[in-house]
Amino acid sequence: MLIRWTDLGAGEPEICIVGGGAAGLTLAHALSGKGLSILLLEAGGRKPTRAGQARYEGELVDPTSHPWLHHFRVRALGGSSRIWGGRCLPFDPIDFEARTWIDGPGWPFGLQTLTPYYIQAQDAAEAGAFDYDPRTALPGAQVELAPGLDGESFQTRLERFSKPTNLWTRYGPALEAAPDVRMLLDAPVEEIRLGETGRVDHLLVRRPDGQKTPVRARRYVLALGGLETVRLLLSSHREQGGVGGRSGHLGRHYMSHLSATAGQVRFARPREIAFDYERDAEGIYVRRRLALTDAAQRRLKGLNIAFRTHLPDPQDPAHGDPILSAMYLVKNFILYEYGRHMQDGRR
């Protein structure tokens, strides 16, 4: 249920979830009905506002290779799931390994540890089965993106797309009716305060009037997203490099949707190229992409990378395609994730 600030002091919750986006709402829904008292703190309101989005703004070294920080994130119930295109793809096994040509320790676990949670996340996002192999996900269909490309260096894999699913639309009605889940809006957490033992003692939450209120719970979950979670950790307990920052890795190794157009390809037999969207047996949209194999990454001492085919630039009338021209005319109504190249005037 949604509560007011005057209701906040009604008992100490067993679990405090910070963030009402995809992760926070999914977790609150999963825990509801399990005999726990849950408090969810959301920095925004029911809908995004211009003032709220302004808090997500930041500087970019190169705006052509990374989207503006306030474009893909939403400060409101549902978070970025309100606007996402729903593209889903997991890490590959090699992404978890410590590699001598990359500065970093690797992950303390492998893909097999994460897979059960991937399956649950895909169910929440309505992205279908945890299957990214075109041979099994699209039985009887063409496997390769283009005949003859798969081999020692490249392999055709799939990316999946959720409906796309707004998690507040999906879980909001149940959470508003749940007596064991209390949700407080316009309640940004500004600092994590640790006790003498190093455990979290309380959170400092800023009220609409600017005052800060301590919030205590038996357990805390930070579900603010990749950027805001790290920012909160770094801004807390600063004398120790932030909460969990002693290793020096907190806030490093960040990777977003870095992308670039590498060139143009003209196929001799374009009808044999399986570049378009298809639906699997559940009706979920999937699309093929080319990925570097593990062997190629080791040989090149490079990072994981994927190659996708794109249609000609809708902004360029030289394409001569009426459908692409229509896309350009309605660019302001296309999800920003897919229309930003047209809206921002860059590729």
pLDDT above 70: percentage of residues in the chain: 90
Asked whether residue 217 is assigned to any structural domain, the reply reads: yes
CA distance 347 to 335: 16
Q: Which two tokens stand for residue 190?
A: 């500004």
Q: Are residues 217 and 318 in the same domain?
A: no
Q: Are residues 328 and 194 in the same domain?
A: no
Q: Which of 225, 245, 265 is the last residue of a domain?
A: 245
Asked whether residue 322 is assigned to any structural domain, the reply reads: yes
Asked whether residue 191 is assigned to any structural domain, the reply reads: yes
* Mean pLDDT confidence for 24-53: 96
Do 149 and 156 touch, CB atoms closer than 8 A? yes
* Mean pLDDT confidence for 137-155: 94
Q: What is the mean pLDDT of the chain?
A: 88
Q: Are residues 189 and 337 in the same domain?
A: no
> CA-CA distances (angstroms) from residue 73 to 48, 55, 82, 163, 201?
10, 10, 9, 18, 29
The pLDDT score that the predictor gives to residue 109 is: 95
Q: How confident is the model at residue 337 (pLDDT cuts 50, 70, 90)?
A: low
Q: Tell me how long the chain is.
A: 347
The pLDDT score that the predictor gives to residue 346 is: 44
- Phi first, then psi: what are they for 166, rounded to 5°? -85, 115
Q: Which of 245, 265, 280 is the last residue of a domain?
A: 245
Q: Are residues 318 and 241 in the same domain?
A: no
The pLDDT score that the predictor gives to residue 330 is: 61
The pLDDT score that the predictor gives to residue 163 is: 87
Q: Are residues 205 and 347 in the same domain?
A: no
Q: Which of 194, 228, 245 is the last residue of a domain?
A: 245
Lowest-confidence range among 47-56, 173-182, 183-192, 312-321?
Answer: 312-321
- In tens, the pLDDT along 221-240 reads 999 998 999 999 999 987 77
Asked whether residue 15 is assigned to any structural domain, the reply reads: yes
The pLDDT score that the predictor gives to residue 319 is: 57
The pLDDT score that the predictor gives to residue 58 is: 87
The pLDDT score that the predictor gives to residue 333 is: 54
The pLDDT score that the predictor gives to residue 321 is: 66
Q: Which two tokens stand for residue 114?
A: 């994460």
The pLDDT score that the predictor gives to residue 334 is: 58
Lowest-confidence range among 58-62, 88-92, 185-189, 319-323?
Answer: 319-323
* Mean pLDDT confidence for 7-16: 88
Q: Are residues 344 and 232 in the same domain?
A: no
- In tens, the pLDDT along 247-303 reads 888 888 777 777 777 788 788 888 889 988 999 999 999 999 999 999 999 999 999
Lowest-confidence range among 30-39, 89-98, 269-278?
Answer: 269-278
- Residue 235 sits in which domain range? 1-85+162-245
Q: Are residues 318 and 238 in the same domain?
A: no
Q: Are residues 64 and 179 in the same domain?
A: yes
The CATH number of the domain holding residue 44 is 3.50.50.60
Lowest-confidence range among 9-23, 164-178, 186-200, 303-317?
Answer: 303-317
Q: How confident is the model at residue 338 (pLDDT cuts 50, 70, 90)?
A: low
- Phi first, then psi: what are they for 219, rounded to 5°? -140, 155
- Number of independent structural domains in the chain: 2
- In tens, the pLDDT along 112-144 reads 999 999 999 999 999 999 999 999 999 999 999
Asked whether residue 332 is assigned to any structural domain, the reply reads: yes
